[in-house]
């Protein structure tokens, strides 16, 4: 059955951040990505307003083609590469929060989480990438930065480069029932959110401390690149800002959310504190030069 553009826009409007329109179009990877990132922090969902006609046309073409369409290599997309990097980092941070208690976390858990995040973006739309090579590079990169949260960045970079190198078009397969697709998406969603929810609700204080320490050290790495540091800070805080804009202050009446409000304030002021320290150091340096100049 052909997909309708009007229905797609309606689903985009009422359930876009949850990926309803992608589920309708058969773009399950894209739907899962939106479910786990709340529509790309809201920006991806809004940007899709102009992309929906091409998504509908692509879905209708896929329905009319039953044979293999995996020929050729898709064009290189800087946007997809950047999205792979960001989602890989995002998956890595979530793994740090919820799975860091594992004995072999930095060897198994972290590269697996980052690699799956990169592969999820690589599988959006009619494209995909090589599963084994992408995960293999992630596992090989992880021991180089063993035990350090900053390992998320090089692992995501290496996996994203590999995924782009092995990019290809998907091969057309027979259609599946909606129940099977929902079952698969549900399992993937629970696998992502289950450990995170348990860690957050049962160990709120420890989780907040670890998240603050991880984000602090991660943002501190960008001290030599101020503009990039501000960009990463905005990316991390964007889902929170969207949520606060939607629910206002009512959504933070419980104790748990009040604690997460403190975390937000910490991250938000992190860059300001670094700038104030830099200004103070510069001021002291100039004052010292002035004293030397007027010394008899």
Task: List CB contacts of 156: < 8 A, sequence separation 6 or more.
Answer: 84, 85, 88, 89, 92, 114, 117, 118
Domain spans of the chain, in order of start: 1-61, 76-202, 223-282
Residue 84: band (very low, low, confident or very high) from pLDDT cuts 50, 70, 90: very high
**Ranked by mean pLDDT, which of 47-51, 158-162, 281-285 comes out on top?**
158-162
| Main-chain phi, psi angles of 238, to 5 degrees | -60, -45
> How much is the pLDDT for 9?
93
Q: State the chain's mean pLDDT as an integer.
A: 77
- Is 70 exceeded by the pLDDT of residue 294? no
- Is 50 exceeded by the pLDDT of residue 234? yes
CA–CA gap between residue 118 and residue 141 (Å, rounded)? 14
- Is 60 exceeded by the pLDDT of residue 170? yes
Mean pLDDT of 170-179: 75
Run of H or E including 94: helix 78-99
Residue 42, number of CB atoms within 10 A of its CB? 19
For 141-160, the pLDDT digits (tens) are 998 888 787 889 999 999 99
CA–CA gap between residue 156 and residue 159 (Å, rounded)? 5
For 100-114, the pLDDT digits (tens) are 777 888 899 899 999
Residue 123: band (very low, low, confident or very high) from pLDDT cuts 50, 70, 90: very high
Predicted structure pTM score: 0.68
Mean pLDDT of 170-195: 83
> How much is the pLDDT for 96?
84
CA–CA gap between residue 158 and residue 173 (Å, rounded)? 30
CA–CA gap between residue 162 and residue 158 (Å, rounded)? 6
Residues shown for the chain: 296
Mean pLDDT of 156-180: 86
Higher-scoring residue by pLDDT: 242, 1 = 1
Higher-scoring residue by pLDDT: 159, 251 = 159
Residues 27/29/32/38 CA torsion (nearest 10 deg): -80
Confirm if 23 and 3 have CB atoms less than 8 A apart.
Answer: no
Confirm if 8 and 54 have CB atoms less than 8 A apart.
Answer: no
CA–CA gap between residue 157 and residue 236 (Å, rounded)? 17
Residues 187/103/144/136 CA torsion (nearest 10 deg): -30
Give me the residues paired with residue 283 across strands. Answer: none
Q: What percent of the chain has pLDDT over 70?
A: 63
> How much is the pLDDT for 83?
93
CA–CA gap between residue 78 and residue 105 (Å, rounded)? 30
């Amino acid at each position: 059955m052909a997909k309708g553009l009007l229905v797609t826009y309606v689903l985009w409007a009422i359930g876009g951040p949850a990926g309803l329109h992608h589920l309708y179009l058969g773009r399950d990877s894209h739907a899962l990505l939106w479910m786990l990132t709340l529509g790309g922090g809201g920006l991806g969902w809004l940007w899709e307003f102009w992309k929906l006609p091409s998504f509908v046309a692509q879905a209708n073409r896929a329905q009319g083609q039953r044979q293999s369409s995996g020929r050729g290599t898709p064009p290189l997309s800087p946007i997809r590469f950047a999205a792979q990097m960001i989602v890989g980092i995002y998956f890595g941070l979530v793994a740090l929060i919820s799975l860091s208690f594992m004995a072999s976390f930095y060897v198994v858990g972290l590269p697996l989480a980052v690699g799956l995040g990169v592969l999820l973006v690589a599988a959006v739309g009619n494209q995909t990438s090589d599963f084994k090579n992408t995960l293999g590079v992630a596992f090989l990169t992880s021991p180089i930065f063993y035990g350090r949260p900053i390992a998320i960045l090089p692992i995501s970079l290496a996996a994203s480069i590999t995924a782009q190198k092995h990019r290809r078009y998907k091969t057309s397969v027979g259609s599946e029932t909606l129940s099977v697709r929902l079952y698969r998406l549900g399992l993937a969603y629970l696998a992502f959110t289950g450990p995170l929810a348990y860690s957050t609700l049962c160990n709120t204080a420890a989780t907040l401390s670890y998240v603050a320490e991880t984000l602090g050290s991660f943002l501190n790495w960008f001290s030599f690149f101020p503009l990039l540091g501000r960009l990463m800070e905005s990316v991390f805080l964007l889902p929170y800002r969207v949520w606060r804009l939607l629910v206002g202050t009512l959504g933070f009446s419980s104790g748990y959310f009040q604690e997460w409000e403190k975390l937000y304030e910490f991250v938000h002021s992190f860059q300001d504190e670094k700038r104030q320290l830099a200004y103070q150091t510069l001021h002291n340096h100039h004052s010292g030069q002035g004293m030397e100049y007027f010394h008899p």
